[in-house]
Amino acid sequence: MAAELIITQVRSAATRIAKQRATMRALGLRRVGDTVRHPDRPEIRGMIRVVEHLVTVRSSEDGGS
């Protein structure tokens, strides 16, 4: 299976600019502590770069539990 990225929101996006808030919503992150999984693709990496100061990212090579 392809590698996945495990993205966790660690800071609030409430006072950030609209582009960053929209990126957080597009990633599926709504509040501090939320964690989502996305495939390791260039599009997702670009979204992470926009909000890298608000999230932590881990790699899951096997994508399993």
Q: Express each pLDDT in 15-58 by its tens digit.
A: 999 999 999 999 999 999 999 999 999 999 999 999 999 999 99
**Cβ partners under 8 Å of residue 12, min gap 6:** 31, 32, 54
Is a pLDDT exceeding 90 seen at residue 63? no
Q: What is the pLDDT of residue 1?
A: 53
Gyration radius from the chain CA atoms:
11
The answer to whether the CB of 21 falls within 8 A of the CB of 48 is no
* The pair of three-digit structure tokens given for residue 46, joined into one six-digit string: 């670009």
pTM of the entire structure? 0.87
Distances in whole angstroms, Cα of residue 25 to Cα of each of 13, 20, 28, 43, 57: 10, 9, 5, 15, 16
Just give the CATH number of 4-60.
Answer: 3.30.1390.20
The answer to whether the CB of 11 falls within 8 A of the CB of 42 is no
